[in-house]
Structure 1
Amino acid sequence: MKKFYFLFFIVLLTTAVISGCSEKSSQATAGSDQNSEEQQTLKATISAPKSPAIFPSILLAEQQKDIELITWETADTLLAQIQKKQAQFIALPLNMGANLYAKGMPLQLIQVNTFGSMFLVSTDDKVQKLEDLAHQTIFVPSQGGPPDILTNYLIAQNNIPGVKLSFVNLTEIGQQLASGAIQHVVIPEPLLSIVQANLQTDLHIAINFEEVWQKQFSKQLPQTGIFVNKAWASSNQHAIKQFQALSEQAITDLYQQPDVSLPLLSDFFKSNEKIIESALTNSSLHFQTAQQARNETEAYFKILLEIAPDSIGGALPNEDFYYNE
């Protein structure tokens, strides 16, 4: 993960131009421009990883003819998208966005949409809580990433003795669990539901990081948000307003219209609807603007600054990091 942060040197996000129409009189012009602006379809590209943060974007791309969805899975893919100016809105883990911002990248957070959605699972039915992992090996993906940092933090805070953390490639988790090579692993959705459905051995959730975080800090655990280029944001406020409204509605539709959302998500992930329904149920998706989520996001960053300062670039982002509508 540390290598990931240093792969980025430029963050350039493309701009969209929103204009109104004109009429003969100044009063008519103002009214016409306003109506045109309100009715104009948002034309934009969203880039997101294949995590719960992409769920509402899948709906947006289906519902809005001028919204395109692209994905990134590696640093190289994302960097290429940025260099080619392929996306106006980009979903990133919050600590990654903060790290890039600390390195001088002109990013602004406009919304947080994913909280928690990360789990410690086990094939050992005796493991039901954190204390049961004493003197055990826990596998986590992405050294230096949130699963690594937060697992270490919870182990230390709860004084669990003899725990060893080891690392596993995300794509190998299912195979490693099936072979018995690993028993306890931190895994996000939707991979969790996919692995559970295909694994012959029972795999149960021992720790829901969101629940543990809320119990310990009385706050949600913010994980992923949508970022834009600061300069683009300043001249495209209406586009951002449209995107925010569409995003909030899409998150509502995910849960309130499963007959619509589940087939779309299933088709995207090439998986059956029962698996995707499980992934959606386990995912904690809520819409909050950057300002609404700021207190919880800063609380999260303060923990990271204490235990893994490099993960957010060694400093808390200042207020300019948070887009203000």
Structure 2
Amino acid sequence: MKKLFRSAAVLALAAALLVSLTACGKKQETQPETEEPVQEAPTTLRVGALKGPTAMGLVELMKASDLVSAGEEVPQAYDNLPDAVDTYTFTLAAAATELAPQLVKGDLDIACVPANLAATLYQQTEGEVVTLGINTLGVLYIVENGNAVQSLADLEGKTMVASGKDSTPEYALRYLLEENGVDPDTGVVIDWKNEHSECVSALASGAATIALLPQPFVTVAESKMPELRTALDLTAEWDALDNGSALITGVVVARRDVVEAHPQAVERFLEQYAASVDWVNANTADAAALIGEYGIVDAAVAEKALPACNIVCITGSEMKEKLSGYLQVLCDASADSVGGAMPGDDFYYGAE
């Protein structure tokens, strides 16, 4: 009887194993094979940038791309295109108003523009513009002929010249003054000029002793007036608030249809752009020479200004956190500054 019981048990176990193996076999048969991602054909991306800090980080990539396009060997110092799978054409402009229409019309695929303009374009195109990354943090400084200004609170009762009314310089300055207890409407007199160069001229003539200036105009002013002092770095003042955002000057945007049609090319561009930014920040003199070669800024000015230009390549979730916080500050001050409303989550490429 015990023998019969043992035989029955063995048969039952064998049957169970057979069922299990059969099931596993069926599962393996129905499991889909992993497909290799389809590789895109090489493409040409048309990139626009402004003459100034927002274009400076591109110069190594520009040089390498130009050499490849010309069929020339890329020196190791500029070798930022290891695969040489894509080509680029670059358009440099003096004003964002030149680049924005080209991007909207489809004459450009990617553009480096002011952060608030990116948000405005998103609204104007009903979401057809996406931000790939932050390329320039704050470049605004308070400069002074004297030693009266040691903090933003010291601007109380003072008169200063500035340019950039109804744009980033004004919004950033107003926010920082308010956060430091100074009423931007009654606590300080701001003489708004049309151009940054007018502010430099006012300092040089003695008509003003305090000015809000961006780089590289700070460097230009200091070259003309050795006694001029950089009193405050507005990026550092913003960071001191520890509000989760950052003072941002420029971002890299792309048309959504380009991102969707050429996702691998866009990813490669971002990788190469980040490498170019790293090279520019690590090779000031060589980068300044290229910046001068491309007519972005005079090479001598660029070499002095680069360390204070806060050139970066911030992407993904960190980009979304910093940029959305900054745009919220602008939106709270004036919704028109960001196109009437805050952009949606689909504005931030690659952010979770």
Shorter-chain-normalised TM-score: which range? 0.7 to 0.9
Identity of aligned residues (%): 21
8 Å Cα contact 1:58/1:69 also seen in 2: no
**Aligned positions of 1:3-152 closer than 5 A:** 34=39, 40=42, 43-65=44-66, 66-74=87-95, 76-79=97-100, 81-82=102-103, 85-105=106-126, 106-152=128-174
Q: Over the residues paired in the alignment, what is the CA RMSD in angstroms?
A: 2.4
8 Å Cα contact 2:291/2:299 also seen in 1: no
8 Å Cα contact 1:112/1:290 also seen in 2: no
Structure with larger Rg:
2
CA offsets 1:255-300 (integer angstroms, 9 cap, x no match): 2233431211233346243x32221110112211143310111111
8 Å Cα contact 1:57/1:69 also seen in 2: no
Pick closer, same or farther for the CA change 1:317–1:253 going to 2, 3 Å: same
Pick closer, same or farther for the CA change 1:83–1:70 going to 2, 3 Å: same
8 Å Cα contact 1:117/1:282 also seen in 2: yes
Match of 1:297 among 290, 307, 323: 323
C-alpha displacement of 1:240: 0.4
The residue type paired with residue 271 of structure 1 is D
CA offsets 1:202-253 (integer angstroms, 9 cap, x no match): 2221111111111112543233111111112111101101110011000110
| Alignment-derived partner of residue 175 in structure 2 | 153
Pick closer, same or farther for the CA change 1:68–1:191 going to 2, 3 Å: farther
Pick closer, same or farther for the CA change 1:270–1:226 going to 2, 3 Å: closer
Separation in structure 2 between the aligned mates of residue 302 and residue 226 of structure 1, nearest angstrom? 18
| Alignment-derived partner of residue 254 in structure 1 | 280
| Alignment-derived partner of residue 260 in structure 2 | 234
8 Å Cα contact 1:178/1:201 also seen in 2: no
1:287 equivalent in alignment to 2:308: no
1:212 equivalent in alignment to 2:237: yes
User: Greater CA deviation, 251-260 or 55-64?
Assistant: 251-260
What TM-score do the two structures reach when normalised by structure 1?
Answer: 0.81
Secondary structure of the structure 1 residue equivalent to 2:181: coil
Separation in structure 2 between the aligned mates of residue 120 and residue 149 of structure 1, nearest angstrom? 15
Separation in structure 2 between the aligned mates of residue 116 and residue 131 of structure 1, nearest angstrom? 20
Match of 1:307 among 333, 339, 346: 333
CA offsets 1:147-189 (integer angstroms, 9 cap, x no match): 1111111112212262122211223222221111222221111
The residue type paired with residue 93 of structure 1 is P
1:190 equivalent in alignment to 2:216: yes
Separation in structure 2 between the aligned mates of residue 156 and residue 250 of structure 1, nearest angstrom? 37
Identify unmatched segments of 5+ residues in structure 1.
Answer: 1-29
Pick closer, same or farther for the CA change 1:293–1:80 going to 2, 3 Å: closer
Match of 2:196 among 161, 170, 174: 170
C-alpha displacement of 1:84: 6.3
Separation in structure 2 between the aligned mates of residue 108 and residue 269 of structure 1, nearest angstrom? 25
Aligned residues: 290
Separation in structure 2 between the aligned mates of residue 181 and residue 194 of structure 1, nearest angstrom? 18
Separation in structure 1 between the aligned mates of residue 336 and residue 102 of structure 2, nearest angstrom? 25
Separation in structure 2 between the aligned mates of residue 151 and residue 103 of structure 1, nearest angstrom? 26
What TM-score do the two structures reach when normalised by structure 2?
Answer: 0.75
The residue type paired with residue 44 of structure 1 is L
Secondary structure of the structure 2 residue equivalent to 1:291: helix
The residue type paired with residue 205 of structure 1 is T
Secondary structure of the structure 1 residue equivalent to 2:241: helix
The residue type paired with residue 141 of structure 1 is S
Identify unmatched segments of 5+ residues in structure 2.
Answer: 1-35, 67-86
Separation in structure 2 between the aligned mates of residue 210 and residue 288 of structure 1, nearest angstrom? 16
C-alpha displacement of 1:82: 3.8
Separation in structure 1 between the aligned mates of residue 302 and residue 297 of structure 2, nearest angstrom? 10
